[in-house]
Structure 1
Amino acid sequence: MINLINNLISIRQYLFPSLYFIFVFGCQSPGPYDHRMPEDNRFTKITLVEQLDEPMELEVLADGSVFFIERKGKVKLYNGETGETEVVGQLDVYPEHEDGLLGMALDPKFDQNGWMYLYYSPAGSESINRLSRFTFDDRKMSRNSEVVMLEIPVFRGCCHSGGSLEFGPNGNLFLSLGDDTSPFESDNYNPIDERPGRAEAFDAQRSSGSSMDLRGGILRIKPKPDGTYSIPKGNLFPEGTPATRPEIYVLGNRNPFRISVDPKKGYLYWGEVGPDAAEDHQERGPKGYDEINQAKEAGFYGWPYFVGDNKPYWYYDFVKEESIFKYDTALPVNHSPNNTGVKELPPAQKAFIWYPYDESEEFPQLGEGGRNAMAGPVFYSDLYRDSEVKFPKYFDGKLFIYDWMRNWIFLVTMDEDGNYQKMEPFMSNTKFDKPIDMQFGRDGSLYVLEYGTFWNAQNDDAGLYRITFSEGNRPPVVNIAVNPNKGAAPLRVEFSSEGTMDHDEEDTLSYSWDFVGAGQEQSNEPNPTYVFEKPGIYRPVLTVTDQSGVSVRNSLEIQVGNEPPKVQLEVEGNRSFYWDDLKNLKYRVKVTDREDGRLETGEIAEEEIQLTFSYLAQGFDKIQATAGHQQTHSGPVGKVLMEGSDCYACHALQKASVGPSFEEISHRYSAISDQELDRLVGTIIHGGGGEWGDRLMPAHPQLEEKEVIQMVEYILSVNQGSATGELHNLPVSGSLSLDKHGPEKGTYFLSASYLDKGAEGLDPIPGRDDLQLRYAKVLAASADLTHDAAKANNKGSYLVKFTSDSAFLAFKSIDLRGIYKVVMEVDPANTSGKLELRLGSEEGELIGESPELSKADKKGESRWIEVELPLSPKQGQGDLFVVYRGPEKTSIWNGFLLNSLYFNQE
């Protein structure tokens, strides 16, 4: 009998492995996250490397090392064992517009042959993009190993290059190509301008609509060992079909920027960056939509004749400026004289998921605003080795999609046939800074490449990250901060791990700091101090380990050798408030830089100091309310609104990016009329282009007109005073008139900055000091912090209700210099109590106190009791707390009310 069982086991472990497992071990119990989405805190986002320069695509190796490319031509390798990143290859590229080094894929047998495929725009005068194979050997990509596989003629003058590379499960290589067509001068609808002389840039029918042009398509080829390729069966046009290119798998794309291939089913997915029309037009066609597309087989996907779920455009005669007919999805016909392919195209396939600038009717969870759709991987747990960080089976067969502009990631669930069922947000509480590519590693963790805040720039928040999953014990969440992160040598740095935590509260954490690398200088304290003796760029690493032995590390950069400049704005009088009788503000700028010298001695020239003075009529409380929970925002309302939108993705203050710099815009419209202002506002809301070359302003229909006006006013104030009264490049000392305010009290802004000259090979460092003066009467509702105090809108008047004893509100960084009393408007309602003024905290130094107040203290018909709290004079700025002392608990309906505080100098 024993021999019989052994024989059965021996047979089953080869023929029926799952049956063998059950026979020997019994049924495997399902995991807790086999059928439900894990909580966000089950995932940990780990920083691998940051401060990248326009990263584009990545490839993960078996050991957790990662290749990634940067648009200006660098191929980099992150070492999964050491955490170091090095440049392993460099291509000379044409980096203008949307060209450069765009795509990368590793050969399925990379471990044996070292082949990597790159799609790039070679430097030089020839207008081509190129797909080439290179060999990676001895930790370098050999430039001389290039084998050119395919060259594509392009128009180097605009946009929509595409360029994503991805291998499918059968060793087929997919390459996405944009339509290479300017979206300008077609009113943000489909660019089908057939007029003579317009073919090169303005008619997408010559590319996306042509079966003889590779642009606007997704190619599918089979690379061969000799560097050539064959055509797989099942492409859109069989080999030998007249007037067609057999490489085309998908035709009819505008800008398929990121693609992925289902590793089991072979389905192709891609994000399609759509056109910019903000509204449907009865005689032109639909508004713009971004798309997530799915191709189960070869097909035509509509552009430039259809968008979204096959919403048809009109054929528009640009000569007569007339719409002639709507296109037919069942039989799209390309009559353009610029078409070199067949006239009758295959039936158009509709998008898998589609969404506009405003809220989507079909997919409202995707939100509103700027859009840039991209397709990520489809996950299957059995394709990855078992590990403690592998995503659970809940994700099996699900597609990751993401948006570069909206910074979200969604998980799409499909049925067995690949049909859409539902979508749900992934890690919605985690910040992503323009995700641009993602891929699962061999251990089942997700690697994410993020482009960072600004377009066409090296960004501090551009980086490579790894997301791990924890079913049981969760890894620590590691935060790291330093003070300072720049300075002259020797530099004493205080390190902090504040905010580091573990979701498994019973875990005890241990800390290990590596200050200069290779374990030479270390500390096990949570918050150590270290002195860097020599100039250089350092990347200290903090490793935090829980009691189960799970470690997570984080790092940041410290620059030693250049001391940041110290900029001080000295003013006569109070630094927080202005009063009606204060007519002038006397000021002086002081700048000291260890390497450059001092402004006062002439070592730093006055013209190197940037000094700006402006007035915003909206008021300080309006500015704070607009900033909301995003405490990093500060300054004029227009600037705050812009920081909360997508403006800085395409524009910068001084440097032209996708669009012109704000300084250029301000110079052009130095004497703007009301009509021009209305036109600029309309362009931002509805989109437009052509005034700044080949760049398009996308539509922003989600913004309100009054918000856009504030944004335009801020932009126009950048380099001039005529638009909003802002003054620039003022003398470093003098007197400014505080005469802009009327009955409505706004806010004055004074800002001084200096950019030093760099030192020890390090980049220049800016220094800045800002002054904001608000009117001395402050609404209680504008407080920076409240506790047991409710803000309420009472018939247009914003009040604060204190609802329990020791409730408080706080105003940060208030200057009490010259303030001798505070006059408060109080309504005790149906309760009683008193108010205290304290410094630093709700239990800090008591500097003022009201008498006990009740409803009986009201006089006449006035709602408010004016209460004077005398103060002893104080120096310097600090946090001011208003603390209520009264009954232990009151109803919110009967709470003690505070309307305003007036800071009086008399």
Structure 2
Amino acid sequence: MYKTIITKIPALLGAGVSLIMLSSLVNKNHGIVDNLKFTAAADTEQNRYTKTVLSEKLDEPLQMLILKDQKVLFIERKGNIKLYDPATKATTIIATIPVSTKYKDRNGKISEAEDGLLGVVTDPDFDKNHWLYLYYSEAGDEAKNILTRYEFIDDKLILSSKKVLLEVPVQREQCCHTGGKMAFDESNNLYLTTGDNTSSKATPYSPADERAGREPWDAQRTSGNTNDLRGKILRIHPEPDGTYTVPEGNLFPKGTEKTKPEIYVMGIRNPYSLFLDKRSGYLYWGEVGPDASKDEPGRGPKSYDEYNRTKKPGFFGWPYFQADNKPYNKFDFATNTSGPLFDPEHPVNTSPNNTGLTKLPPTQRSFIWYPYDISPEFPLLGTGGRSAMVGPIYYADDYPAGKRFPNYYNGKLFIFEWLRDWIIAVTMDKDGNYQSMEKFLPGMSFSHPMDLKFGPDGDMYILEYGQGWFTQNNDAQLVHITYNGGNRKPTVVARADKPAGALPLKVKLSADGTTDSDNDQLSYKWSIVNKAGKKLATLTGKVASYTFKLKGNYKATLTVTDAQGAVSSKTIAVKAGNEPPVININVAGNQQFYFPDKPFNYSVVMRDREDGVIPGGKIPASKLKVNISYMGVEAEETLGHKAPPTAESFAAGKALMLKNDCKACHDVSRKIIGPSYKDVAAKYKEDDETVERLATKIINGGTGVWGEMHMSAHPQLAKDDAKSIVHYILNINAIPAALQNLAAKGSYTPTSTNGNVVIRASYTDKGVTGVAPAYTEKAYTLLSPVVQACSGTIMGDYPVTKKRANKSAVFVRNSGSIHFDNTDLTGISKIGLDVSTPNNTNGGKIEIRLGGTTGTLLGSVIVNKGVERKLFNVDIPPTAGRQNLYLVFTGTVNAENLMYIDNVLFAGK
């Protein structure tokens, strides 16, 4: 499959100008001022980048190599090695390595794990020796991961050439953390990451369980152990005979008692990505962290993912420290008691499972770190689940001019996030110190990026794992991102004012909206063809018209050419001879809002020139499809125009799930890494206690109920929103699969205010001979009567403050106003004002007026100081029709800060 996707982000500021946000921080360690920068750099305009899908529906792709002939070799966790050939645009399996992907606990329970084919790298002299290194979990009874070397000749992996260089003994009782990524330095030394091979199931804090029989839960035996190869970055020198030697300069000199000389870096958890900058000598890796959502006295800090780097051997803290050396407490799992905090300058490993030194090297701090919630140091990284991945540093002069990425990104480190689906470019100074970061192609979507590299021409390749864990995903793909630094093709918009209708059908064709990012002069040509492909007419101009006199299906193709000869086109389908149906939806009473527990009357009329009318005609009423659905406020953008097949009580919960990262681990009906929603609904009975408990677990994270994998925390969710998600999940088996078809005339009673009510009607006519049937759909939306104050037009110096989770409150100051234009007040008897006056405010008066700040007064209320949060209902006189509604705020002469207002509520009679 081969398809191209071009980002649809316009050059907002004109040719050669784009808006880039660089986020940097005030921090005693960084010393950089928080800033927003505007840069006139044409090479960052997103419409210069094209994303092309090279291969799709992959099965857990983990890592890739872009070869000099631009073929892409990549591995999949279950053992396949695949090769994409740009000449044929085909992907083939060139070998399958037998690997272990399962764990078996002491009770005989088998579970899927992270093990498998984990890493691949070519030898520095690959052009001569054709050596390819693979790191994988070898199949068989012996639990070990092995570093191997194969010959790769004529696009074939020579299985008989296998050499085993290194074995890493592991346990396969409890999942997980494997590492497995490799890189070579200038001296042909090989760096290999290994995970801590420790379960995170028992605790979201430091896994240091020293009880007998609990070895898989103690990372002190691996990451904190100087005499174990796990939880490390190893540095070895492969030899031609398939063995290796240990170079000088590792963490422990050769012959040091109770140490492994291969260790370069120790104290790491799950280093799942690796990059070696041969220019600076810095080694970079992304480290996936544990699962605590909050700091816990007596246990330690909340959890962080880390982007780490070093140019010398060292100890990076796990399982005793995280981030910028935030310490854990020594904890006794047998007595459930806490001890002192670990000392980063003098860490010690006293675990009985430790076979190495007791005294460890001083701990090194992370380069960049971030938790589930917003990072004060690095806010651009966002919130949600975490899986830190590191890519390369881009050096423009490593690649030939022409296709390479622009010089703007020269020297920037590309980092990315597997769960949050972003890519960020990090700017550093000449000494490699952090300066700032910015989103890379924020308008382009990625589905769990797993690997990112630059090809031989300086263009970018990305492996996308897809949304589901441990499975083949339709959105798992190899993509190619190219940069166009020269002339860009026009972006074409083609419209027909009447793409279907009765004969004679006169159609006005328009190219309005067509743009050229380089501001070139454009020429326009329209080609009209019939179904057989016969050209009927050629028209010119940005606007043209054509009259179709014979019934049939036609195409009108617009071709736009810029001054430099770049061409783009777009085709419109035209159906002549069949007038589309016309649908009208009418609602009695208020035309803008619905009111909970109060019915409203609706009526739908369909008229079709050829078929007739519904109701009252000869067409069966059932042909007109009418339904009323409830769409959560957050769902409108997420769900587009597709009505969700959910009862109104659960729409908000579904919308919140779609907005967050739930789909990464869960599906409605199938198990991914977590249980299916239907399984959860079958397990739990819906009651207040269960909803409260599960909502808390969504926010804080958890483990142990459904298997080994820890559920990510979501501290950014409000408790009520988490409860909405729980309500949706627990009722998912009872939600109807399809919406009921309603009568063309009737009434409907909403029961909630957390969303919009959508009346939708559609009809497909019978068509005529030679012309396809025409389909018309019409929707009428009644809004929730609960309106966020920040959605109005705010007059005066009123900052919008993020006061409550997922909502904005308006901080109100003296003598200002908020107005809501074109508001239907028909049938409204009260307006509720949801306000609070905490200690930093003085309270004041709110007036409700029509037409302006001095317009007709409908009502008012005094809000005193010290109100925690309260709804003040103001009676208003009957007012018909749409009005410009003003809320005017006043206080005493010296009272500047008055109050916070969250919502405005409209109540019917």
Q: TM-score range by the shorter chain?
A: 0.5 to 0.7
Q: 1:260 is matched with which residue: 262, 267, 275?
A: 275
Q: Which runs of 5+ in 2 are unaligned?
A: 1-37, 102-111, 495-510, 526-537, 540-558, 571-585, 603-626, 645-650, 761-776, 794-808, 830-847, 860-874, 889-903
Corresponding position of 1:224:
239
Partner of 1:162: 179
Alpha-carbon distance between aligned partners in 2 of 1:500 and 1:142, rounded to the nearest angstrom: 54
* Counterparts of 2:98 and 2:138, CA distance in 1: 6
How far off its partner does 1:292 sit? 0.6
Query: Matches of 1:379 and 1:251 in 2, distance apart?
Result: 27
Give the secondary structure class of the aligned counterpart of 1:689: coil
SS in 1 for 2:633: helix
1:291, 1:856 → 2: CA distance? Answer: 57
Deviation of the 1:771 alpha carbon? 13
Structure 2 partner of 1:104: 120
State the match for 2:683 in structure 1: 668
Say which SS state the counterpart of residue 425 (structure 2) adopts: strand
Aligned residue type for 1:100: G
**Residue in 2 that maps onto 1:190:** 206
1:469 corresponds to 2:480? no
* Paired residue type of 1:166: A
- Partner secondary structure for residue 349 of structure 2: coil
Instruction: For 1:107 and 1:648, locate their aligned partners in 2 and report how far apart those are by CA, in whole Å.
Output: 38
Distance 1:319 1:416, change over 3 A: same
Distance in structure 2 (CA, Å) of the matches to 1:233 and 1:391: 37
- Which residue in the other structure is 1:45 paired with? 50
Query: Aligned partners of 1:143 and 1:247: how far apart in 2?
Result: 27
Structure 1 counterpart of 2:176, one-letter code: C
- Indicate the larger mover: 292-301 or 429-438: 429-438
Q: 1:225 to 1:393 in 2, by over 3 A?
A: same
Match of 2:640 in 1: 631
User: Structure 2 CA distance, aligned partners of 1:160 and 1:548?
Assistant: 54
Number of residue pairs matched? 696
Partner of 2:129: 113
Equivalent position of 1:296 in the other structure: 311
Q: What's the counterpart of residue 188 of structure 2?
A: 171
| Counterpart contact for 1:409–1:427, Cα < 8 Å | yes
Change (3 A) 1:320 1:169: same
Q: Work out whether 1:373 is the aligned partner of 2:388.
A: yes
Number of the residue aligned with 1:709: 723
- State the alpha-carbon separation in 2 of the partners of residues 455 and 583 from structure 1: 46
1:5 corresponding residue in structure 2: none
> Which residue, 352, 356, 362 being the options, matches 1:347?
362
Q: CA deviation at 1:152?
A: 2.0
Please state how far the C-alpha of 1:180 moved relative to its aligned partner: 1.1
Query: Structure 1 residues 107 and 275, CA, compared in 2 at 3 Å: closer, same or farther?
Result: same
1:640 aligned to 644, 651, 655, which one? 655
Look up the SS of the partner of 2:693 in the other structure. helix
Question: Which position in structure 1 is the counterpart of 2:21?
Answer: none
Q: Which residue number corresponds to residue 84 of structure 1?
A: 90
For 1:424, which of 414, 429, 438 is the aligned residue?
438
Of the three residues 371, 392, 406, the one matched with 1:392 is 406
Output the amino acid matched with 1:236.
L
Asked whether 1:458 is paired with 2:467, we answer no
Show the 5 A alignment for 1:24-43.
38-41=43-46, 43=48
User: Where do residues 676-695 of structure 1 align in structure 2 (5 Å cutoff)?
Assistant: 676-695=690-709
Letter in 1 for 2:435: Q
- Aligned CA RMSD, in angstroms, stands at 5.4
1:473–1:143 CA distance, 2 compared to 1 (3 A):
same
Shift of 1:274: 1.0
Q: How does 1:555-566 map to 2 (within 5 A)?
A: none
Distance in 2 between residues matched to 1:189 and 1:665, nearest whole Å: 26
Q: Residue 76 of structure 2 is aligned with which of 70, 78, 97?
A: 70
* Corresponding position of 1:444: 458
2:821 pairs with one of 801, 820, 829? 801
TM-fit CA distance, 1:662 = 1.1
Give the corresponding residue for 1:414.
Answer: 428
User: Does the 8 Å contact 2:234/2:262 carry over to 1?
Assistant: yes
Instruction: Give the C-alpha shift of residue 625 in structure 1.
Output: 4.1
Does the alignment pair 1:180 with 2:190?
A: no
Given the alignment of the two structures, is residue 357 of structure 1 paired with residue 372 of structure 2, yes or no? yes
2: distance between equivalents of 1:107 and 1:498?
55
SS of 2:273's equivalent in the other structure is strand
Distance 1:659 1:358 in 2: 21
Letter in 2 for 1:268: L
Identify the match of residue 211 of structure 1 among 223, 226, 241.
226
Q: Shift of the alpha carbon at 1:82? A: 3.4
Give, in whole Å, the separation in 2 of the partners of 1:86 and 1:498.
Answer: 45
CA distance in 2, matches of 1:149, 1:544: 59
Contact 1:405–1:434 under 8 Å retained in 2: yes
| Closer, same or farther: CA 625–642 of 1 in aligned 2, 3 Å | closer
- Identity percentage over the alignment? 43
Q: 1:306 to 1:139 in 2, by over 3 A?
A: same
8 Å CA contact retained: 1:44, 1:475? no
Inter-CA distance 549–748: structure 2 relative to 1 (3 Å threshold): closer
State the secondary structure of the residue aligned to 1:205: helix
In the aligned structure 2, how far is the partner of 1:823 from the partner of 1:732? 29
Residue 435 of structure 1, CA deviation? 1.6
Question: 1-side partners of 2:512 and 2:193: how far apart?
Answer: 45
Alpha-carbon distance in 2 for matches of 1:445, 1:509: 32
**Does residue 240 in structure 1 map to residue 255 in structure 2?**
yes
CA–CA distance in 1 between the matches of 2:337 and 2:427? Answer: 43
Once the 2 structures are TM-superposed, how far is the Cα of residue 510 of structure 1 from its aligned partner?
12
Alignment match, 2:766: none
Letter in 2 for 1:698: S
Distance 1:746 1:136, change over 3 A: closer
Counterpart pick for 1:405 among 419, 424, 444: 419
Q: Which amino acid aligns with 2:719?
A: E
Q: Secondary structure at the match of 2:182?
A: strand
Is the CA contact 2:703–2:710 (under 8 Å) kept in the aligned structure 1?
Answer: yes
CA distance in 2, matches of 1:342, 1:361: 36
Cα distance in structure 1, aligned partners of 2:349 and 2:452:
36
C-alpha displacement of 1:824? 10
- CA distance in structure 2 between the partners assigned to 1:314 and 1:400 by the alignment: 34
* Structure 1 residues 179 and 733: alpha-carbon distance in aligned structure 2, compared to 1, 3 A threshold: farther
> Which residue matches 2:868?
none
**1:708: Cα distance to partner?**
0.7
Report SS of the residue matched to 1:697. Answer: coil
AA aligned opposite 1:87: I
Shift of residue 197, structure 1, vs aligned partner:
0.6
Aligned residue in 2 for 1:141 = 157
Deviations 1:18-72 (A, max 9, x none): xxxxxxxxxxxxxxx9996843336413213243322211111223221122222
Question: Is contact 2:233–2:266 with CA below 8 Å preserved after alignment?
Answer: yes
